[in-house]
Structures are given as C-alpha cells and as structure tokens.
Amino acid sequence: MTLEALRCFCAVAEVGNFRAAAERVHRSQPAVSQQIKALERETGHVLFERRRRALTPAGRALYERARRLLSDSDALERELRDFDEAATGELRLGASDTTTLYFLPPYVKAFAKAMPRTRLVIVNRPTEAVAELVLRGDIDLGITTLPIEHGELVERELFRQELVLVTPKRRRLGHGGKVNLADLRDERFLLLDAHTRTGTLLRDHFRQEGFEPQVVMDSGSFEVIKRYVAEGIGLSFLPRSVVTAADRGLAVTPVQGLPVVRIGAIWRRGAYRSKGAAAFLRALNAE
C-alpha cells in the first residue's frame, strides 16, 4: 500500500470520478484505475460502489485513515524543507473573494516583507470549502466566517463585521439615521446568496424577526450587489467594510439588531505549522 495509491484513492473519493481524480493527481485515468484495483486486492475489500462511485463502508474507513496519513506525509515534507534556510517555501491560504479583496492586502504585504522567499498561494473558496481543504491538508491556513466548530480545527477570531443597510446615495430612509426592519417591508432587496455564510446568517435573523424581504435578486458577489444597488434596482445588507470611498453612489445606514459576522483564522489541530504559516499568523495577530 503506497502513498501514491492512497493519494489516487482519496482523489477519487473526493471528486467522485476517475477522470477528474486523474487530473488532480497528474496521472492518466488508467493509472488511477490500476492504483484503486491494487488497493482493493491488497485490502481484500471493494472500496467503491462502481455504479455511483460512492464509498463502501470499507472505503469510508480507509478514506478517513488515508486522508490523515497523506496530510501527515505532506506536513513532514514541509517540516523538513523548513530546515533548509535557502529553500523557497510555500504557504497555501484559503479565503473568500471578499476577504482576499478587502481584508488581506495589508497582511499579505507584511508577510511578503517578513518572508520574501516564501511564495503565497491564495485559494478563493467559500467558508465550508476552505474548512474542508484545511482538514484534508490541501491548504495550511484558512480565513473564514466563524464558527466552524470542528474538533480537528483550531479557530482564532480576527475581527467582526457590522452589517448595514446599503442604499443608493439619493435615498433617505428612517428618522435621524435609525432604521428598523419594520421600516423596510415595502422595499425591494438584492440579497447575498443563501449558500454564503453571511446570506444564511441574514435569512435566519429575518425568520426570527418575522421579516420577509421582497427579494428581486440573489448574488454571491458583494461587487455585483453594490453595482445593482447603485443602479436603483433594490437595497441590500452588506458588511460596512465593503462599502468604500470609491462607492460614491452608495450610502450606508445602521439597522437595529442586525447580526454581526465573525471572521477568523483556522488551521488543523496538531498539524505541523511551517515557518510561513507562523509568520502569517503573527502578521494577523492570531498567535
């Protein structure tokens, strides 16, 4: 049972088909198929239900162990490379597009100055996908919406985002700059997609408050929503930090009782922390 065979097996388990798995591990599809057949001969068990490409009970047990073995193997390689001061390192970081655009730039700049020989690779994914990549060992750190609440992950809160009502600048809502959800029942809204953490948080809050917004569009992009709000298509709720001085056509108004979004760093508990990861966490003041 080799690491290459386990790597091929985990790739098939995660992407669901041999062709995509072969692309992930940079092997031919027949080579991946042969590795899976060899594993099944060695273990004496069928690992996949061939019709659905789903893991069998034996396959699930092997996958859980294999994923940890591969993660530990990769961590060992990075730990050994850290002993070579002349080597060029790599830090793999996962974050959403919004976090990468609005929050990370000054920290990336500080990291580049502190670790000039370490290449930073940023993978842009939603929170749940970033957490899964950290668990698999595919990335070293994640910047996500909290909480994650997974026993194998460490969380460190970095900051909190205040959600505000975003309107075209020409609109005036509320009295004395104060707005309640009840004041907005007749308005049209552009909401963050329910598949995003912030979108889910808002919808849960609306249900608790008995507020049913008139939704004309969902989007996972803050930039798209801002553009459409500026065009007068509807209003929205966004983190205050994403409405900048460049958004001259927009205005923000606090809404009483809106939830707060917590953003933090995550990494796998007990995993080796490279010099690059430690330096980035110091830049974030997360250690």
Cβ atoms of 38 and 5 within 8 Å: the answer is yes
Least confident of 78-87, 132-141, 147-156, 227-236: 78-87
> Residue 21's domain spans which residues?
3-69
Same domain, 246 and 272: no
Q: What residues contact residue 158 under an 8 Å CB cut-off, 6+ apart?
A: 143, 263, 264, 265, 284, 285, 286
Same domain, 111 and 183: no
Cβ atoms of 211 and 128 within 8 Å: the answer is no
Residue 151 is predicted with a pLDDT of: 87
Same domain, 184 and 241: yes
Same domain, 186 and 234: yes
**CATH code assigned at 101:** 3.40.190.10
For all residues of the chain together, what is the average pLDDT? Answer: 88
Compute the half-sphere exposure of residue 243: CA atoms within 13 Å on the CB side of its CA. 26
Same domain, 111 and 128: yes
| Residue 77 counted as domain residue | no
Write out the two tokens for 244: 């900048």
DSSP conformational letter for 251? E
Compute the half-sphere exposure of residue 144: CA atoms within 13 Å on the CB side of its CA. 27
Q: What residues contact residue 19 under an 8 Å CB cut-off, 6+ apart?
A: 29
Counted domains in the chain: 3
| Residue 75 counted as domain residue | no
Q: For 226-238, what is the mean pLDDT?
A: 95
Burial degree of 190 (CB within 10 A; 0-12, 13-18, 19+): buried
Q: For 88-116, what is the mean pLDDT?
A: 90
Cβ atoms of 164 and 170 within 8 Å: the answer is no
272: alpha, beta or left? (left if phi > 0; alpha if psi -120 to 50): beta
According to DSSP, the residues that pair with 141 across neighbouring strands are 93
| Residue 191 counted as domain residue | yes
Render 49-84 in DSSP notation, one character per residue: ETTTTEEPHHHHHHHHHHHHHHHHHHHHHHHHHHT-
Same domain, 53 and 170: no
Q: In whole angstroms, give the CA distance from residue 284 to residue 287.
A: 8
Write out the two tokens for 117: 């020989």
Q: What residues contact residue 151 under an 8 Å CB cut-off, 6+ apart?
A: 269
| Residue 74 counted as domain residue | no
Q: In whole angstroms, give the CA distance from residue 279 to residue 285.
A: 10
| Residue 76 counted as domain residue | no
Most trustworthy range by pLDDT among 9-13, 64-68, 115-119:
115-119
| Residue 110 counted as domain residue | yes
Residue 286 is predicted with a pLDDT of: 66
**CATH code assigned at 244:** 3.40.190.290
**CATH code assigned at 46:** 1.10.10.10
In terms of pTM, does the model score above 0.85? no
CB neighbours of residue 149 within 10 Å: 8
| Residue 243 counted as domain residue | yes
Same domain, 64 and 153: no
